[in-house]
Amino acid sequence: MIHVHALTKRYGAKLALDDVSFDVQAGDVLGLLGLNGAGKSTAMNIITGYIGATSGTVTVDGHDIAQAPPAAKRVMGYLPERLAFYDEMRVREYLDFVCDLKKVRVGRERHVAAICEKVGIAHVTDRVIRNLSKGFRQRLGFAQALIGEPKVLILDEPTSGLDPAQITEIRSLIQDVGKDSAVVISSHILSEIQSVCTRVVVLHEGRLLVDDTPGNLGRTAKASHRVVARIQGDPARVRAVLSGEPRIEKVRRTAQGEADAYEYLIEGVRDQDIRAIVFRALAKADLPLLSMHSGETSLEQVFLQLIAEQS
C-alpha cells in the first residue's frame, strides 16, 4: 500500500532523513518510533505530500506522491501532529468542508454521522471549533482523517494530549480501522506502539535503526538481566549476599522504600534471566524479598543499545 524507497530529506546542512526505506501493506499498523527530532514527522509529511523529499520515492496505492499527488492523496487520511482548524467554523461545517475537499458526495450525511459516532463527537457537531476541548479537537482531527474511507491512514502522535480513557478509545479505534487499511502511527512512547502496531520502524537521527515486530523490540527493551527489587534487611548484608552470586554483576541501592527496606537495581550477565537467582539467594540468606520487577528500560536506553549494536 505504501512503498517508501531511499527517502532522504535535507534541511540545509541538517540531514532530517537519511536513506529510509520501508513498506506498509493493507492490514498493517506500522509504528514509527523515535525520539523527538528523529525524523518521524518529516517522514509523514513527505508521505502525505505536504513537503517534498530531497531524494527517494514514496508511492501510495501505486501512485507516486511527487508525480501524481492528487491521486495519491485521494486514498489517504492524515492526522497531523500540530492540529489546526478553522476555529470560526462549526464541527459539522468543518467536516462538510473536508468532504468537499476529498470529493465525498454520495451518502455524505450518513458517512459523516457514522464517523462522528465512531470517534465520539456526535453530540458536539453544532459547537464552534474554537470552544472545543483538547480531547475533542484531537477526535475531530481523527474524524477528519477518516472521511472518505481512506485506504491509508497517517496518524502523527494520535494520542498526545488525551486522558487515559480517551487513549484507550483511540487505540481500539486504530486497531479497528487497521483491519482493512494500511496505518502508520508515530509515537515516542514504546508501550503505545507495542499495544497497537503489527510492525515497528525505529528512527534515530534520520536513520532507520530497526524494522521489526513489536514483540522483538519489546524483548530488547525489557531486559530481564536487570531487575529492580525491594529487599528488607541490612543493606551491607544484602549486597554481600547478592554479590556472592557468580551471575550477578552489579548491585546498587537506589532508594529507601519503607522503613528497614531498600530498593536495589540488580544487574546480571547480559541475556541472562536473573530473577530466580536473586530470589533463591535472598531466600537462603533469610532476607525477605518484598517486590521485584524487571528493570524498565527507557526508550533512550533501547536506542543507545540499538546504536551500540549497529556500530
Partner 1 sequence: MLAIVKREFRAYFRTPLGYVFVSAFFFFSGYYFYTYNIYGNTTNMSRLFELLFPVVLFLVPVLTMRLISEEKRSGTDQLLLTAPLSRGAIVLGKYVAASLVFLIAISATMLQALVMALYAAPHWPTILGNFIGLFLLGTALIAICMFLSSLTESQVIAAVAGFVVSLFLMLVDALALVVNQRLLQSFFRNVSFNRRYAPFSLGLLELPHVIYFLSIAALFVCLTTAMLDRERWG
Is 89 an interacting residue with respect to partner 1 (CB under 8 A)? yes
Q: How far is CA 131 from CA 95, 126, 161, 243, in A?
A: 16, 11, 16, 60
The one-letter code for the residue type at 268 is: G
Is 130 an interacting residue with respect to partner 1 (CB under 8 A)? no
Residue for cell digits 503505545?
192
Instruction: Choose the binding region for partner 1 from 26-34, 100-108, 160-168, 274-282 (rule: CB under 8 A).
Output: 100-108
To the nearest whole angstrom, how small is the minimum distance from the Cβ of residue 126 to partner 1?
15
Among 6, 55, 88, 291, binds partner 1 (CB under 8 A): 88
**In whole angstroms, what is the distance from residue 43 CA to residue 34 CA?**
12
To the nearest whole angstrom, how small is the minimum distance from the Cβ of residue 41 to partner 1?
11
Among 13, 70, 106, 215, binds partner 1 (CB under 8 A): 70
To the nearest whole angstrom, how small is the minimum distance from the Cβ of residue 40 to partner 1?
15
To the nearest whole angstrom, how small is the minimum distance from the Cβ of residue 71 to partner 1?
8
**In whole angstroms, what is the distance from residue 263 CA to residue 252 CA?**
9
Q: How far is CA 82 from CA 45, 78, 158, 170, in A?
A: 12, 11, 10, 17
To the nearest whole angstrom, how small is the minimum distance from the Cβ of residue 7 to partner 1?
14
Alpha helices (H) in the chain, listed in sequence order: 40-47, 69-74, 91-101, 108-119, 134-146, 164-177, 190-196, 214-221, 235-243, 275-284, 299-310
**In whole angstroms, what is the distance from residue 149 CA to residue 81 CA?**
20
Helix (H, G, I), strand (E, B) or coil at 97: helix
Among 3, 5, 74, 108, binds partner 1 (CB under 8 A): 74
Which residue, 70 or 246, is less far from partner 1 as judged by CB?
Answer: 70
To the nearest whole angstrom, how small is the minimum distance from the Cβ of residue 204 to partner 1?
25
DSSP state of 130: G
Is 187 an interacting residue with respect to partner 1 (CB under 8 A)? no
- What phi and psi values does residue 86 have, to the nearest 5 degrees? -80, 100
Residues in region 204-223 near partner 1 by CB under 8 A: none
Count of residues engaged in binding partner 1, rule: CB under 8 A: 28
Is 279 an interacting residue with respect to partner 1 (CB under 8 A)? no
What is the x/- site pattern for partner 1, positions 46-65, by CB under 8 A? Answer: --xxxxx-------------
